[in-house]
Amino acid sequence: MLTVYRSNRAEWLAEVLAAQLRLNKPKPFQSVEIMVNTWPTSRWLSEQIATFNGISALIEFPFPNSHLRKFVQLFLGLEVTSKDPWNTNQLTWEIIDVLPKLLKEEESKHLHEWIQKGSNNNKELDKRIWTLAKSIANTINEYILYRPDVIAQWWNLDSKPTKSLRDLPPHIKWQPLLLRLLKTKIKSEPICLQINEVVTRLKRKEHSSKELPRDLLIFGVSSLAPIQIELIQALSSVVNVQIFLLTPGQDLWKRCKSRREELGNDWKVPMDGMWMLKTPRIEASLGRMGSEFQQLLEGSGEYQLGEWQEKDLFSMPVKIATYNSKEPTFLEQLQESLVVNKASIQLHRKHKDNSLIFLESPGQRRQVQLIRDQIIQWLATDDTLQPRDIIIMTPQVKRLAPLISSVFNDISATNVNLPWKITDRSQIEKPGLIQFILEFIDIASSRLTALNLDRLLTNPALQNQFKLDQDEVDRITYCLYETGFRWGIDEKDRNGNSTHSLEWCLERWLLGIVLPNEPNFVEGDIAPFSSTFTVNEITKWWNLLSLLCKHLKALRNSRKSNQWVFQLKSIVTDLLENESNRTWEGELFNITIENWSQDSNDCILNIQPLVIKEILTELFSLENGRFGHRSGKITISALEPMRAIPHRVIVLMGLDELVFPRSEERPSFNLLEQKRLLGDPNNCDKDRYVLLEAIMSCRQHLLITWNSRDEKTGEKLEAPAPINQCIDYLKNELSESDQLGLVQSPPPNPLSNENFIATEYQQPISCDRRNLEARIFLDNFTKPKQTALGIPFRWEINYKFKESILTNDIVKSWLRAPQITWLEHLQLRSREKKISIETIDTFNLNELQRYQLLNEELFTQNNLESDNNVLPILLGADDWQKKLRGQGILPPKSAAELECEILEARIASLSSLIRDLGELEEKNLQINNENITYLIIQEDILVVEIGKLKSATIMSAWLQHLQVCLYDDKPRKTLIISRSTTKSSQHQYKLSAEFTPILKKDAMEMLQTIYMLVEQGLTECWPVPPQSGWELFKARYMKKTNSNNYFKKKWKGSFNQHGENHNSEMILCFGYDCDAELFLGNKIFENCLNILYQPILNNFTAR
């Protein structure tokens, strides 16, 4: 007996099923099996049975393939096992094993040519071969279910070519030969042949070899392969088959019957345009998959060996609402129109009806915000609505998960704590042991960089094992940055040059512990690294990183499957032992690789690391979708698992045109691509059917959203075709006034006024209090006066000097950068040290690096000889290479030679200029118990600026000039040497400026003024930006026209010049985007400008 219970309400079908179980009780301790298509369906159905019967125990929920295979095995007297040698995972390894034999055949020349183009080693399993074998295995699995006649024909082929084989296209002729090779290796027949045998025996009225279950219960399955349906129909002669079918309406079944009667033997031809014309428009565009399934189920009667009966239990939502004295919603009208399919039914929709809404969202994050706000409104207006009644389904779970977490957890924005749970995420997407292993293999097969090493170290499983926290990981990353790590494990990764590799850095750490960091102490190409980190820290980090290096190097090599299992377990033992022993994730990892090892044990090829990563990724993804459903919270899942489970609120999110509906991706050699038959799987039809099932399963509110705006270009994006077709149909059914509010287009800006204003068809869109407060603030906003720490100017012109003790360093620091010094005195750091993780090798040094190298070379104690001759030592290019060897400072290979030549040229130019000026010597001054060193050349003071002449250099030189003129035995002239500013002579040095000698009396007055300025400048903000102020006063002193423009240009900057107002200390002192007019014309600014710069320019000469 085959009984089909049809309904448009899954809960009614569940109640009928529960009643059947209650009336036809199984024997004590006998389990009941109900075939379902997803894990969440089993959870929901179990809850429904427990609700109706008071208990749900000893009920199992197998999937179609395994459950029907069990019936076949029992009928034929085979061993009942869940393992199928013809499943894709196991079949892939069998195909890899027989592939060499297949390629020797003439018919496989196309396959052989393709393989030869990309494979270099016949003894290794690379990604191309693995992908090919996987694709072939998927193809054969599709043949088994959807082309069983082809499998049967090829299975019985002998070695002689037949006409059917000769008629195949040339690029497919190898497939029958492959099946024949697999036949000799796999002892059991494919399931399609076993099903044919079962059907044949049942037609002959033969009995089952073993006792079959009394019932075959099928619930909520909306698609099966034709051969599976034939098996079910045949089994109905010996088993009580009950199918609980969710369908939009009873009219569909009648049309399936009439179509079969019209077409006769051709009824298996796929549904064409004429069928669609006879079908209601919304069902025609969305319901093809369900229509084909019901057409196959109704069939021709050839395989229907048992009695047949149909029982309908359709809900009429409009009539139910009317009976309960309620006005039917638009969604309820639409659901009833699918049931009765009468053209006379006219749909009506009130403006504020929100039972069905289409929402075109301007951006992904905005989409999540709009959904959150809509859910909050629904919960606020309906006390009976609970989070468990709401489901959000999306084809983009992985992409939208971070946005969902960010928006739904932002409780401060809405003052509403929404409980939610994301399901259908595999372990590879969650930080932990499995994710670490997969990333580790991926790095080993590609490249280790400073960036992905940092990502490895942030994995909580590794941190737990080695007792690390994020602060310590940051210190490890910084230490590696200082050492010079860029990318690569060792010299093998870097074409024989170990510099900047991880092992090179670790060797530098070891040498730094026992040897001083001096140029003479270089071992090979490795110089000692001395750091501010403790020996204990370095030792701990070295142990961890050396283990990572060891296992990464081991993972580079291809090896056999059993060796891979040993290697992976050793990684877990060394790096993640705590996680593997204490967590279920470790148990899952061990079981998975052991099972894989058994499946692939016969493979004689060495498997490459990339293939291993691909295999493990797929195996660990098999557990995806099993957990997290029915948690009592708002459920966020993929489209497939919970598509037919009824909820009061259903949200279809992220149905973007590029991802919905999915396109079919099959290889060109798949016969399903040649000709489509009734019942062939089609992802596009499956995704379209989601919309129809959502309409059937939703009880109160259905919200359908997609991204309508490109987030990079801002261009408008169209809705996917199924949604457009649905909208067009509904608009055609509704009057123009009823269409208002059906499709909503919220503003892209969450602060737009429209978000907070109700309209005639909807409440205010936004529930975000923070955005509302921001909107109110903007509406009432009046541009305030520029406020900052240094605003308004509070400088006292007639300040009385308190003669506080000011060190020379403080005075010099204030003159060079007065605002920074003031902020530091207030214990405010205006500039943070930026550490960028470098992952590539540079081919030149930047100007800062060159400056630091030359400055270190010229002003270290090594160049200060005892005879006071401090002329710079001339280092040639070879000397520079020797000096910097093993530190990773210079770029690689010939680029290092070029840089050393630049350094040589600059130091040679500087040395030559100093020689031309005369003999150089060093002198000391004792000022306020401080020893101040300066350089004398002939009778003049010399100041050397390694870079180009800057205002800071002039200010420190001016301080030194005044000090020498006051405290030395006689006033002297000061000469300033700096690098040329012209491009043609950028590596040359010149005499840039000089200060004239100043009498001791004048020098004392000027120094007193500076000390007074510094003393006040430590408590008040100096109102003159140093760089811009210097340019302004210099322009005025030289009587240039439009001198204020020099200030503005330096302050604001230009397209190729950084403006001083963008410096962090200027933003703190004078405000963000401070205008130049704040300073120009200000009395305090002008007075301060004159006080500081007038004495300087009176004694300054530029050259």
Give the whole-angstrom CA distance, residue 355 versus residue 738.
13
Average pLDDT (1078-1083) is 90
pLDDT tens, position by position, 360-372: 999 999 999 999 9
Domain ranges of the chain: 2-82+196-312, 88-187, 356-425+628-775, 428-621, 808-1023
- Higher pLDDT pick, 227 / 602: 227
CATH number assigned to the domain covering 2-82+196-312: 3.40.50.10930
Q: Compute the Cα dihedral for 1025, 1026, 1028, 1030 and give only its sign.
A: positive
| Cα torsion through 1039, 1043, 1047, 1048, rounded to 10 | -170
In this predicted model, what pLDDT tens digit does every residue of 414-458 receive, in sequence order? 999 999 998 877 666 777 888 889 999 999 988 899 999 999 999
Q: What CATH number belongs to 428-621?
A: 1.10.486.10
For residue 710, count other CB atoms closer than 10 A to its CB: 12
| DSSP designation for 720 | P
Condensed to tens digits (0 to 9), the pLDDT of residues 115-124 reads 877 666 677 8
Least confident of 332-336, 353-357, 424-428: 424-428
**451 close to 419: Cβ distance less than 8 angstroms:** no
pLDDT at 864: 39
For residues 174-197, average pLDDT: 92
**pLDDT (mean) for 334-352:** 81
Q: Look up residue 525 and give its two tokens.
A: 């190409």
Per DSSP, the three-state class of 62 is coil
Verify cis geometry, omega within 30 degrees of 0, for the bond prior to 720.
no
Report pLDDT digits (tens) over 652-693: 999 999 999 988 888 888 999 888 888 899 999 899 999 999
Per-residue pLDDT for 294 more than 80? yes
Burial class (CB in 10 A: 0-12, 13-18, 19+), 431: middle
Q: What confidence score (pLDDT) does residue 941 get?
A: 92
What CATH number was assigned to the domain covering residues 356-425+628-775?
3.40.50.300
Do 88-187 and 356-425+628-775 show the same overall fold? no
Based on the number of CB atoms within 10 Å of its own CB, is 833 exposed (0-12), middle (13-18) or buried (19 or more)?
A: exposed
Instruction: Give the span between the Cα atoms of 130 and 88, in whole angstroms.
Output: 12
Cα separation, 502 vs 454, whole angstroms: 12
Buried b (16+ CB within 10 A) or exposed e, 874-908: ebebebbbebbbbbbbbbeeeebebbbebbbebbb
When mean pLDDT is compared over 517-521, 665-669, 834-838, the highest value belongs to 665-669
Place of tokens 């089993």: 42
At 936 the three-state DSSP class reads strand
14 or 295, which is more confident: 14
pLDDT-derived band at 306, boundaries 50, 70, 90: low
Residue 806 CA to residue 759 CA, distance in Å, equals 68
Q: Give the domain 88-187 fold.
A: Arc Repressor Mutant, subunit A (1.10.10)
Say yes or no to pLDDT of 55 above 70: yes
pLDDT, one tens digit per residue, over 984-1028 is 888 999 999 999 999 999 999 999 999 999 999 999 999 999 999
- Rounded average pLDDT over 971-979: 91
**Longest CA pairwise span in the chain (Å):** 128
pLDDT tens for residues 618-644? 888 876 656 667 788 999 998 888 888
Q: What percent of the chain has pLDDT over 90?
A: 44
What is the share, in percent, of the chain residues with pLDDT greater than 70?
90
Residue position matching structure tokens 């059914």: 733
pLDDT for the residue 457: 92
Q: Which two tokens stand for residue 439?
A: 């990333």
pLDDT band at 404 (very low <50, low <70, confident <90, very high): very high
pLDDT for res 866:
31
Helix (H) or strand (E) holding 33: strand 32-35
What Rg do the C-alpha atoms of the chain give, in angstroms? 40
Instruction: Give the residue carrying structure tokens 């870079």.
Output: 947
Residue 536 has pLDDT above 50, yes or no: yes
- What's 107's DSSP letter? G
Read off the tokens for 473. 């990981």
Whether 162 has a pLDDT exceeding 70, the answer reads no
Cis peptide before 746 (omega within 30 of 0): no
More confident residue, 165 or 861: 165
CA distance 1025 to 1032: 10
pLDDT digits 0-9 by tens, 460-509? 989 988 999 999 999 999 899 888 899 999 988 888 888 889 999 999 88
Distance CA 646, CA 1022 (A): 70
Confidence of residue 104 (pLDDT cuts 50, 70, 90): confident
User: Any bridge partners for residue 3, and if so which?
Assistant: 242, 309
Query: 759 versus 76: which is more confidently predicted?
Result: 76
Mind listing the pLDDT tens digit for each residue in 726-762? 999 899 888 888 888 899 999 999 999 999 988 877 8
Residue identified by tokens 């081919």 is 843
Q: CA-CA distance, 769 to 744, in Å (whole number)?
A: 22
Are the CB atoms for 217 and 35 separated by under 8 Å? yes
Rounded Cα gap, residues 122 and 659, in angstroms: 38
Element (H, E) at 241: strand 240-246
994 contact partners, CB below 8 Å, separation of at least 6: 940, 973, 974, 975, 976, 1100, 1101, 1103
Burial of 712 (0-12, 13-18, 19+ CB in 10 A): exposed
Q: Please, is 984 exposed, middle or buried when counting C-beta atoms within 10 Å of its C-beta (0-12, 13-18, 19+)?
A: exposed
pLDDT at 869 exceeding the cut of 60: no
User: How many Å apart are CA 256 and CA 262, to the nearest integer?
Assistant: 10
Mean pLDDT of 955-980: 91
User: Residue 578: pLDDT above 90?
Assistant: no
- Say whether pLDDT at 865 is over 50: no
From start to end of 575-662, where are the E strands?
606-607, 634-637, 647-652
Tens digits of residue pLDDT in 1015-1072: 999 999 999 999 999 999 999 888 888 889 999 999 998 877 889 999 999 999 998 8
